[in-house]
Amino acid sequence: MNQLVAVVIDGLIYSSWLFIIAVGLTLIYGVMKILNIAHGSLYALGAYSAAALAGYWINQGHAPMGSYAVMLLAAILVGLVAGPVIERGLLRFMYGKDEIVLVLVTYAVFLILEDFIKLTWGVDPYFLYQPYGLLGSFDVGDLTYPVYNLVLFGAAVLIGVTLAWVLTRTRRGKMLVAVIHDREMAAAMGINVGLVYFVTFTVGAMLGAVGGALTAPMISVQPGIGAETIVLAFAVVVIGGLGSLPGAALAAILVGLVRSAAVHYRPELDLFAIYFVMAVVLIMRPKGLFSVPEARKI
């Protein structure tokens, strides 16, 4: 019984994390039809800048509680700089190309940013452990969890609900949905599609960076974290159905629970549980859980 509770709680924590790293990816795909491999680098950029800035903040002897604000600020800055630079400087010249070509373009950006990170922060790992323990811990039965995990869970819910609210309840969100459904028709109706793309990519980039910043206290921030994370985010997004927000949420929960069950019962299966789920879901539903049927073009 106790183990089952542990599986569910661990699973939900992991799901929250998965959702946070995947949501920006699915947003960008949904609007721009770009499967953004560089999302992994934005995640890494967010993690590095949060670890560096918040670490500096704490070492300077400022109030440790402020480190959360610094982390968040660092991530938002990364999003606000990297998003526009990538979209305006590169991606806007690529719109209209094949989806696979766009994947390769973002892969190139990923490669460039990987080395950019190494050049900026070096190859030695950064540790930002303080924020993880700062909030104390809570008990479930005889299991103890750091409160930071609740922060993660709360952040996932907050991001998900906010995005859903914006998309369905606000004027700008509805305009965005119009662009998703038919780009040309939306443009004909006077929606500034270029601006929508610009804003979407920036927000998506920011979400990726926030994901990295929130993760930074839980890991050692080192080269390769972007490559590790982006494939997990891909899996979640593809399982949910590319571009679907509820799909990403459901996929994150599904994958989170399966992985946590694997960790508890069959630890040797841990590493590929997620890809296993992805393969099974794609075999059952070739375009993911929340996919819309498409007509074949002649």
Partner 1 sequence: MIYGAGSARVLKRDLTLRILSIVLVALLVAGPLLPRWAMFLITVSLCYGMVVLGMMLLMRTGVVSFGHGLYYCLGAYAAGTLDVLFGVSDIAVMLLAAVAVTGVGSALLGLLLRKYRDIFFAMLSLAFSMILYGLLVKTSALGSSDGFNVAAKTLFGIRIAGTEFERYLIFAVTVLVAFVAAVCMHKYLASHMGRLAGAIRDNELRVEYMGASVRNTIHVNYVMSAVLAGLGGAMAAVSVGHIDPEMSYWTTSGEFVFVAILAGTGSVLAPFLGAFIFETIRSFAYEYSPNTWQMALGTTMLLVIMFLPGGLWSLFTRMRKAA
For partner 1, the binding residues (CB under 8 A) are 35, 90, 93-94, 99-101, 103-105, 107-112, 114-116, 118-119, 123, 227, 231, 234-235, 238, 242, 268-272, 275-276, 278-279, 282-283, 286-287, 296-298
Classify each residue of 199-216 as buried b or exposed e, where b means 16 or more C-beta atoms within 10 Å of its C-beta. Answer: bbbbbbbbbbbbbbbbbb
What is the smallest separation between the CB atom of 153 and partner 1, expressed in angstroms? 26
Residue 149 amino acid letter = N
Comparing CB distances to partner 1, the nearer of 111 and 140 is: 111
Distances in Å between the alpha carbon of 221 and those of 45, 49, 70, 191? 10, 10, 17, 41
What is the smallest separation between the CB atom of 59 and partner 1, expressed in angstroms? 26
Q: For residue 27, which of 286, 230, 237 has the smallest C-alpha distance?
A: 237
What is the smallest separation between the CB atom of 66 and partner 1, expressed in angstroms? 33
Helix (H, G, I), strand (E, B) or coil at 122: coil
What is the smallest separation between the CB atom of 289 and partner 1, expressed in angstroms? 13
What is the smallest separation between the CB atom of 242 and partner 1, expressed in angstroms? 7
Helix (H, G, I), strand (E, B) or coil at 285: coil
Quote the DSSP letter at residue 286: T
Comparing CB distances to partner 1, the nearer of 107 and 145 is: 107
Return the sign of the alpha-carbon dihedral for residues 88, 94, 98, 102: negative
Comparing CB distances to partner 1, the nearer of 108 and 143 is: 108
Comparing CB distances to partner 1, the nearer of 41 and 202 is: 41
Comparing CB distances to partner 1, the nearer of 165 and 265 is: 265
Classify each residue of 173-197 as buried b or exposed e, where b means 16 or more C-beta atoms within 10 Å of its C-beta. Answer: eebbebbbeebeebeeeebebeebb
